[in-house]
Chain A
């Protein structure tokens, strides 16, 4: 038994190959993970500092990169009040925790991941549905606090249920959405016309 199996097809050889391939792939993944995490830390070019919510944010086609990319503009403090980095982080954190606590991801997608019953929230801050920058914050707050009463169903019959989002949490969620819209997502979604470019 076994003499007729050549070494290259033997169990022992493939055991070694399996171990080396697995270990090699994993080492590469760890290396790439360190590199990626350093490139996506908050405050970098890809994921902006939380205080980016003090600025005007847009999303436009970038000729050089040949894709859509976030554009950070002039001062435009959220809710009319410029925040320090710490204050901004606190507000965005409240918003992020609220999106988790309210289970947003099982209807919506965030950065394209989640469920498909409600629109993607990646660029929700920039959506032309808010009509213009002047009314946006108030519309968003009112919607989050009473989504069923301010339903934005677009004729689909689908409504967001009232999730008991407090005023404070609603402010946090808006801050989180504004901050998220500034993340450089490699051009996803493509061809998105923001409320600034609507005309």
Chain B
């Protein structure tokens, strides 16, 4: 059912797991910020964060042996953390729709 992490992969497991959440937040935050300011360069940094997330996911998947049905988890992390910030951003704009323009910077 599971294949435990090998001793020499402990560090990479903890590190990549932390990196997934941190870069996930970085991507989400930078994406929102880029949208707010309409700044494509910030968007580039957001995607760079996502690239880190994808790399970390790959490392974590290798260290924790996410094979077989566990591949679903990898797919979930990759698509979930990619799309959720976009959805939440849309939700922010839409739910605050009758408020002031979404950005004081525009």
Chain A contact residues: helix, strand, loop or mixed: loop
B4, B94, B98: which contacts A3 (Cβ < 8 A)?
B98
User: Do residues A9 and B95 form an inter-chain contact, with CB atoms below 8 A?
Assistant: yes
| Mask of B1-16 contacts with A, CB within 8 angstroms, 1/0 | 1011000000000000
A128 to B1, CA, bound (A): 28
Contacts of B68 in A (CB 8 A): none
**A81 beta carbon closer than 8 Å to chain B:** no
Q: Is A190 an interface residue (CB 8 A)?
A: yes
Interface residue tally for chain B (C-beta within 8 Å): 9
How many Å from the CB of A47 to the closest CB on chain B? 19
Judge if B76 is at the interface, Cβ distance under 8 Å. Answer: no
B1, B3, B4, B94: which contacts A9 (Cβ < 8 A)? B94
Contact with A along B80-106 (1 / 0, CB 8 A): 000000000011001101100000000
Kindly list chain B residues whose C-beta atoms are within 8 Å of the C-beta of A8. Answer: 94
Chain B residue numbers with a CB within 8 Å of A10 are: 95
Q: How far is the CA of A3 from the CA of B1 in the complex (A)?
A: 51
Closest to A9 in B: B94
The 7 closest A-B pairs by CB, nearest first: A9-B94, A4-B97, A4-B98, A5-B97, A9-B95, A6-B94, A9-B91
Q: Could you list 7 A-B pairs, sorted by A, with CB under 8 Å?
A: A4-B97, A4-B98, A5-B97, A6-B94, A6-B97, A9-B91, A190-B4
Known: A6-B97, A9-B95. 12 other contacts (CB 8 A): A1-B98, A3-B98, A4-B97, A5-B94, A6-B94, A8-B94, A9-B90, A9-B91, A9-B94, A66-B3, A186-B1, A190-B4
